[in-house]
Amino acid sequence: MTGARIFFVGGLLSYRALFNWLSPWIFVPTFLIAPIFQILLFVYIGRSAGVASDKFYVVGNALQYAAIPCIFAMSNTIAGERFQQTLGFVLATPAARLPLFVGRSLPVILNGIAVCAFAFVVGGAIVGIDVPSSAVGPLALTIAVSAASCTGLGLLIAAVGLRVRETAVLNNIVFGVLLVFTGANVPLSDLPGWMSFLAQGMPLTHGIEAARRLADGASLSSVAGLIGAEAAVGAAYLVLGYALLRFMEWQSRRLATLESV
Amino acid sequence: MSAQRIGRLVWVGWVFRLKEMSRSGLFVFTSIIEPLIFATLTYYLFTAGSKPGTVLYSALGAGMMGIWSTTLFASGGAIQWQRWQGTLELLVAAPPPFLLVVFPLTLGSATIGIYSLTATLLWERLLYGLPFDPVHPLLFAISVPSLILGLGTLGLVIASGFVLYRNANALSNMLEFPVWLVTGVIVPLSLLPGWASKIGWVLSPTWGFRAVRNSVFGGPVWPSIGMCLGLSLVYVFVAGYFTGIFERRARERATLSLT
């Protein structure tokens, strides 16, 4: 019961307290307007370059933009403790670490799903793409799995944030790498072999591919493998992130780096 | 203030700004790594595309995109960072007009953008073998500073809003992609809806980008430089007007030190 309370209530409280983009003055421009402009930019670049259809960019960028809430929010909800000088108190509690850290990811995943779905629907409506109604449910599932997978990467970055101060820089680099590598804007087949190979181990790559096929009318069963691969990648990052968090916690106690900002 | 003192203030502020920005990890990322990410992305996008002759256009565009990102991020941050460091009140209270204090900060931000352009062109030259042979090298050397001045003064207008609004940085972050779109830096304006391209006409970067592009690929350069500089002058007056209003309101509401 205590573990469940830490997971749900603690996760929500930390999200509300530490994710400093929750003000409407920041949330609306960052999460609702910026992704629409990202979609429009790449739709027009795509038209200019003659690479792919508008739907290709709407789907790719809507899902890729989940990286903003999932990575930034996840790292902020843990690295933010350091800036508030509360990290020492959090780590001094006897609370089980799994619900303490992983519980913080749940509100982030929901945030990512909401941002992604909004960008998909509004961006798609502005550009005028057609998505079969039968694809709505499977697309929602794909978006949820992709957001969760990306949050796993966010947890890994959050762990690094226990040691590195400039997490904002790291977040921006990761966002840029995902923009290039995941096939959000350039088909994987058009990237060099080493880039498309690396993309297989990155969150969002398989989710974007699955979402594109679903939006083109494919059935859920035909993309189950891709969604499973996305979930597996996310799970791997989650495990890695949790392990690194524990390691960094131990390291920061040993080196007394918890309070350095 | 005498012209000599104004010149000294702008010079010292500009140099100080360059030194200050070179010590910010976040800013170094924005000016160094982000342009290379977009250069890589646009290179693969346009080489994958079916339209010939667009790769060089996009390569130059990616470099200029970097200048805008740098200017936007750092110009907005110029006020925000002062606020966070608790020095905004001191700057507002200083004897020189606040506009003159802010101008070298935004000009310094735009100047760093030259690095973004250079790095992008070098990156694409060394990694992808894209040639860079401007048709009018001298005009290129003139049009780039004009673009920087145009961006710096636009940054001045943006920065004025930061005096009053604490969360204006979210708004400035949001402006990165729209300005890329409506100024035609990477996508020809003819592809955009008519109303969207008209927005670009009142933005100095549109003309600055056009001047740089025409100096590289050929075409009339001076009219675009003239428009860019003319709009820059307008921006200085607009920024002066808004800075006066916002500064007074921020004093009345006592919000200068709020973070």
- How close does chain A come to B200, measured CA to CA in Å? 15
Lowest mean pLDDT among A134-138, B71-75, B164-168: B164-168
Is residue A122 very low, low, confident or very high in pLDDT (cuts 50, 70, 90)? Answer: very high
| Nearest Cα residue to A126 out of A31, A28, A27, A32 | A32
The three-state (H, E, C) secondary structure of A48-70, written as one string: HHCCCCHHHHHHHHHHHCCHHHH
- Predicted confidence at residue B259, as pLDDT, reads 62
- Predicted confidence at residue B60, as pLDDT, reads 84
The residue among A77 and B235 whose pLDDT is bigger is: B235
Hey, are the CB atoms on B26 and A179 less than 8 Å from each other? no
Give the separation between CA B87 and CA B92, rounded to whole angstroms: 9
Is residue B166 scored above 80 in pLDDT?
no
Give the separation between CA B104 and CA A153, rounded to whole angstroms: 40
- How close does chain A come to B82, measured CA to CA in Å? 18
Average pLDDT over residues B54-69: 81
Residue type for position A18: L
Helix residue spans in chain B (DSSP H): 3-21, 25-28, 34-48, 55-85, 88-93, 98-128, 137-164, 168-174, 176-182, 194-201, 204-217, 222-253
- Comparing CB atoms, the residue among A30, A166, A179 nearest residue B25 is A166
- How close does chain B come to A225, measured CA to CA in Å? 27
Residue type for position B241: Y
Hey, are the CB atoms on B42 and A25 less than 8 Å from each other? no
Average pLDDT over residues B51-61: 76
Give the separation between CA A37 and CA A33, rounded to whole angstroms: 7
CB A166 within 8 A of CB B28: no
Q: Which residues touch A30 (CB under 8 Å, ≥6 apart)?
A: A21, A68, B170, B173, B174
Q: Tell me the backbone φ, ψ of residue A137, rounded to 5 degrees.
A: -60, -55
B127 CB near a chain A CB, below 8 Å?
no
- Predicted confidence at residue A144, as pLDDT, reads 96
Q: What is the ipTM of this complex?
A: 0.84
- Predicted confidence at residue B207, as pLDDT, reads 95
The string of pLDDT tens digits covering residues A199-231 is 999 999 999 999 999 999 999 999 999 999 999
Tell me A84's DSSP state: T
Hey, are the CB atoms on A25 and B46 less than 8 Å from each other? no
As a whole number, the mean pLDDT across chain A is 88
Average pLDDT over residues A165-174: 80
**Angle at A19 (CA atoms; ends A252, A13), nearest 5 degrees:** 85
B45 CB near a chain A CB, below 8 Å?
yes
Q: Which residue on chain A is closest to B31 by alpha carbon?
A: A169
Give the separation between CA A159 and CA A240, rounded to whole angstroms: 10
- Comparing CB atoms, the residue among A23, A34, A186 nearest residue B45 is A186
Tell me A184's DSSP state: S
Give the separation between CA A234 and CA B52, rounded to whole angstroms: 39
Q: Which helix (H) or strand (E) holds A153?
A: helix A136-161
pTM for this entry = 0.88
B183 CB near a chain A CB, below 8 Å?
no
Q: List chain A residues with CB under 8 Å of B120.
A: none
Is residue A1 very low, low, confident or very high in pLDDT (cuts 50, 70, 90)? Answer: low
Residue type for position A30: T
Hey, are the CB atoms on B26 and A180 less than 8 Å from each other? no
The string of pLDDT tens digits covering residues B2-37 is 889 889 998 998 898 888 777 776 667 767 787 888
Rounded to whole angstroms, what are the CA distances from A23 to A20, A31, A106, A171, B98?
7, 11, 19, 20, 29
Is residue A16 very low, low, confident or very high in pLDDT (cuts 50, 70, 90)? Answer: confident
Q: List chain A residues with CB under 8 Å of B165.
A: 25
- How close does chain A come to B38, measured CA to CA in Å? 8
The residue among A81 and A190 whose pLDDT is bigger is: A190
Among A27, A32, A41, A57, most B C-beta atoms within 10 A, so best to mutate, is A41
CB A82 within 8 A of CB A161: yes
- How close does chain A come to B1, measured CA to CA in Å? 38
| Nearest Cα residue to B67 out of B228, B237, B238, B219 | B228
Is residue A261 scored above 60 in pLDDT?
no
Average pLDDT over residues A134-157: 94
Give the separation between CA A7 and CA A247, rounded to whole angstroms: 20
Among A20, A31, A36, A51, most B C-beta atoms within 10 A, so best to mutate, is A51
Tell me B221's DSSP state: -
Portion of chain B with pLDDT greater than 90, in percent: 20
Among B32, B187, B259, most A C-beta atoms within 10 A, so best to mutate, is B187
The three-state (H, E, C) secondary structure of B113-180, written as one string: HHHHHHHHHHHHHHHHCCCCCCCCHHHHHHHHHHHHHHHHHHHHHHHHHHHHCCCHHHHHHHCHHHHH
Hey, are the CB atoms on B26 and A49 less than 8 Å from each other? no
Average pLDDT over residues A17-25: 74
Give the separation between CA B145 and CA B200, rounded to whole angstroms: 20
The string of pLDDT tens digits covering residues B118-158 is 888 888 888 888 888 889 999 999 999 999 889 888 888 88
Hey, are the CB atoms on A186 and B41 less than 8 Å from each other? yes
Q: List chain A residues with CB under 8 Å of B47.
A: 190
Structure tokens at B174: 């949001």
| Nearest Cα residue to B99 out of B17, B189, B13 | B13
Q: Which residue on chain B is closest to A26 by alpha carbon?
A: B170
**Angle at A132 (CA atoms; ends A129, A135), nearest 5 degrees:** 115
The string of pLDDT tens digits covering residues A44-91 is 998 888 888 999 999 999 999 999 889 988 888 777 777 777 877 888
Is residue B220 scored above 80 in pLDDT?
yes
Hey, are the CB atoms on B167 and A38 less than 8 Å from each other? no
Hey, are the CB atoms on A44 and B181 less than 8 Å from each other? yes
Hey, are the CB atoms on A30 and B173 less than 8 Å from each other? yes
Is residue B87 scored above 60 in pLDDT?
yes
B103 CB near a chain A CB, below 8 Å?
no
- Predicted confidence at residue B53, as pLDDT, reads 65
The residue among A42 and A172 whose pLDDT is bigger is: A42
Give the separation between CA A32 and CA A24, rounded to whole angstroms: 10
B173 CB near a chain A CB, below 8 Å?
yes
CB count within 10 Å of CB A90 equals 18
